[in-house]
Structure 1
Amino acid sequence: MTVFELFDIHNTLVTIPLGSGYDMSWIEAIGTLFGLLCIWFASKEKTINYPFGLLNVTLFAIIFYQIQLYGILLLQVFFFAANVYGWYAWTRTDDNGETLSVRWMTPSKQTVVAVLSVISIALMTMYIDRFFALLANFTINTMNVFGARLTLPTLSPDAFPFWDSTLTVLSIVAQILMTRKYVENWILWVVVNVISIGVYAAQGVYALAIEYVILLFIALNGTREWVKTASSNAEANQQ
């Protein structure tokens, strides 16, 4: 099997007996495995989560390129950059030689993040089709500069505009909060995973729904462990 064949979404690894049958490709299986490892190690506050995260978003960017979801492809570029920054932020030491510690956001920061998230979700819900069309156009024009010779596919209206907007915004916010080691990131991932399970099950994509059930349990464990760590860090700072 060549590298190009491995990255082809039509190169099926296994057909999952769900619904009418779901053909999972090698690239999707490997990308999903890296994604699960990324989230698991992040829940354990292990910096090694970031190499797995970079591999995950890279492979899924290739998938979205092949199925012509260029707007979502561009979001993978953001997640790639966030993983690079998170890797740096988690390993950087301050003047005292200390690395970033797990903690809660201050009430004022929580309020600002909540307000901005609600506003962003509302705006994206109203303009989600236009938003992803702009992202797709930008991605295609950028790739064509480098000789890709792509044409813009016909984009169908979003089936679940509010829920897709919520998932997009909260995923971005959660990723940013994780890079700063705020406990709230796991609470947002729990919400994202619960919504994802419902959306994918409603669309009949049961394999993805099952994947997000696994991610939900990892996020719940991450919440539990980071709450405990944040409490220990707070007590140590008070002494």
Structure 2
Amino acid sequence: MDIVSWFDINNTVVNIPIGSGYAMSWIEAIGTIFGLLCIWYASQEKTINYLFGLINVTLFAVIFFQIQLYGLLLLQVFFFCANVYGWYAWTHPAGSQGEALQVRWLARNKLMLTLLLVIVAVSLLTLYIDAVFFTLASWCVAALNFLGLTVQLPSLQPDPFPLWDAMVTVLSVVAQLLMTRKYVENWILWVLINVISVGIYAAQGVYAMSIEYTILLFIAANGTRAWVKTAKYNGSRHAFAQEGAI
């Protein structure tokens, strides 16, 4: 098997006997494994999660290119950039004291602002999701053609789940950004995202993806538990240090 054929989504590694059957390709299987490793090591606060995340989003970008989901392809570009930034932020000191990032909760004012922005963004994207993704698809096709690839704009259909897809899209962006700054709330959002994703994929009959997101749900729940514990420890240590400085 040569390199080019390995990236082909029609190069099946296993047929999963779920529903009417699901042919999983090599690239999807490997991309999924790296995605699971990324989330698991992130839940353990291990910086290597970003390496696995970069591989995951790159492979999934190739998949979305082949199946002509250009909106999701562009979302992978955002995740790629967020992973690069997160890797940098986790490994470089921050602030005037030169301290490394610590797992912590969002301050109340930041939490309220984040919730407001999420509500507004989800509401707007729900109303205009087809126009937004059709436009993004057109931009992506134009960019790919500019790079020398011959790509035709596919026949795009209206989104069957505009509210849920808008929530997953917006919350995924926010959760990824919160993770790069080590805020506990990112895991709570990933739990919600995975619950919604399990329901969407099950409703569409894509049971293999539904099972995958069920696994991610349990990893995100474990990440929430671990980071809440770490944030509590960091908060207690910070309070003790302040008392000692008085």
Taking structure 1 as the reference length, the TM-score comes to 0.99
What residue number does 1:201 align with? 202
Per-residue Cα deviation, 1:109-144 (whole angstroms, up to 9, x for no partner): 010000000110000000000000111011111111
Amino acid in structure 2 at the alignment position of 1:172 = V
CA–CA distance in structure 2, aligned partners of residues 212 and 25 of structure 1: 18
Gapped regions of structure 2 (runs ≥ 5):
241-246
Amino acid in structure 2 at the alignment position of 1:53 = G
What residue number does 1:2 align with? 2
What residue number does 2:131 align with? 130
What residue number does 1:99 align with? 100
What residue number does 2:63 align with? 63
What residue number does 1:231 align with? 232
Amino acid in structure 2 at the alignment position of 1:2 = D
CA RMSD of aligned residues (A): 0.8
How far 1:163 moved relative to its partner?
A: 0.3
Number of equivalent positions: 239
How far 1:98 moved relative to its partner?
A: 2.5
How far 1:97 moved relative to its partner?
A: 4.5
What residue number does 1:161 align with? 162
How far 1:50 moved relative to its partner?
A: 0.1
Per-residue Cα deviation, 1:9-57 (whole angstroms, up to 9, x for no partner): 0000000000010000000000000000000000000000000000000
Matches within 5 A, 1:107-126: 107-126=108-127
How far 1:150 moved relative to its partner?
A: 1.2
Quote the sequence identity (%): 64
Instruction: Say yes or no: does 1:49 pair with 2:35.
Output: no
How far 1:190 moved relative to its partner?
A: 0.3
How far 1:2 moved relative to its partner?
A: 0.5
Per-residue Cα deviation, 1:185-223 (whole angstroms, up to 9, x for no partner): 000000000000001000000000000110000000000
Amino acid in structure 2 at the alignment position of 1:85 = Y
CA–CA distance in structure 1, aligned partners of residues 119 and 187 of structure 2: 18
Gapped regions of structure 1 (runs ≥ 5):
none
CA–CA distance in structure 1, aligned partners of residues 152 and 18 of structure 2: 33
What residue number does 1:31 align with? 31
Matches within 5 A, 1:136-215: 136-215=137-216
CA–CA distance in structure 2, aligned partners of residues 123 and 98 of structure 1: 38
Amino acid in structure 2 at the alignment position of 1:63 = I
Amino acid in structure 1 at the alignment position of 2:150 = R
CA–CA distance in structure 2, aligned partners of residues 199 and 69 of structure 1: 16
What residue number does 1:221 align with? 222
Instruction: Classify the secondary structure of the residue corresponding to 1:15.
Output: strand
Per-residue Cα deviation, 1:134-186 (whole angstroms, up to 9, x for no partner): 11011111111111121111100001000000000000000000000000000
